Amino acid sequence: MLQPIVDALHNLLTFFYGFTHDYALAVVLMTLVIKAILHPLTRVQLRSMKAMQVLAPHMEALKRKYKDDPRTLNQEMMALYRAHNVNPMMGCLPMLIQLPVLWALFRLLYTKGLFGNATMFGVVWLRLDAIPKDLYAQVPAHPELLVVFLIPLLVAASTWWQQKMSVTDPQQARMFVFMPIMIGYFATLYPIGLSIYWIVSTVAYIGEYFLVVGRPHPMASAPPKSQQTPSTGGPRAPAPAARGSRPATLPPGKRGAKRA
């Protein structure tokens, strides 16, 4: 099922290699092109994700208020979504559409022998198909191979940056605190060419986030529109009088009529 997508991505990688003659640069260009093609879906996903982050505190308040009344809770949730023009499905649907492309790309870059003897940016001892974990035993004889382990660190650092920027809920941030470490460890088990894709893709996503959402801000604490219901059963409180204006007086004949 994924093979047609894998073949198309392979042709794209070969195309970029044809005029760059550098597989590392070809991976970078291919990643950027794919991110540009998928950007409309990413834009929708980012906007929906940000809207859900803003509504998260109010959703938790509704869950606590109607914890024993699931029917009313669902009605209030839907009212909250309608009041803010939020469709919760729009955060997942774009990702589901992108997943086949991302899986195919992972499968392509993980293919054994894909890069042949190609090196990373011309460094003869830094091959794109090398797996950092397999180089541990060679470090004593070749200390320069320590540079290879900077790549998993860059993978972890870019993942941490993306997570810190996009996850604004402190509770969620604590849940995902070990995610960058885990991704960095996985990068020691994958070919370097795949790590290059991950770093470039993550940095490109950070750029998309700033472009679509802007700088991260704390979650809003004001009541949402659906919860700002006007008071009933009594008149509104009078607005405060402007400075220097005379107080209102009762009409003639009404003064003192309701004195206690």
Pick 214 or 246 by higher pLDDT. Answer: 214
> Pick from 196, 201, 202, 198: which is nearest to 126 by CA?
196
pLDDT digits (tens, 9 = 90+) for 162-212: 888 777 666 666 777 888 899 999 999 988 889 999 999 999 999 888 888
| Separation of first and last alpha carbons in the chain | 85
- Beta-carbon contacts of 41 under 8 Å, excluding residues fewer than 6 positions away, are 94, 95, 97, 98
How many CA atoms are closer than 13 Å to the CA of 204, on its beta-carbon side?
20
Q: What is the mean pLDDT of residues 96-119?
A: 83
The pTM for the full model equals 0.72
pLDDT digits (tens, 9 = 90+) for 25-39: 999 999 999 999 988
Two structure tokens written together for 235: 């008149």
Q: Per-residue DSSP letters for 2-48?
A: -HHHHHHHHHHHHHHHHHH--HHHHHHHHHHHHHHHTHHHHHHHHHH
Q: Is 237 exposed, middle or buried (0-12, 13-18, 19+ CB in 10 A)?
A: exposed
> Pick from 95, 86, 93, 91: which is nearest to 58 by CA?
86
> What is the rounded CA–CA span in Å between residue 132 and residue 147?
10
> What is the rounded CA–CA span in Å between residue 143 and residue 138?
8
> Pick from 231, 224, 232, 230: which is nearest to 79 by CA?
224
Range of weakest confidence among 124-138, 163-177, 215-229? 215-229
Q: What is the pLDDT of residue 77?
A: 84
Pick 119 or 195 by higher pLDDT. Answer: 195
Backbone angles phi, psi at 125, to 5 degrees: -95, 10
> What is the rounded CA–CA span in Å between residue 27 and residue 17?
8
> Pick from 15, 29, 2, 23: which is nearest to 200 by CA?
29
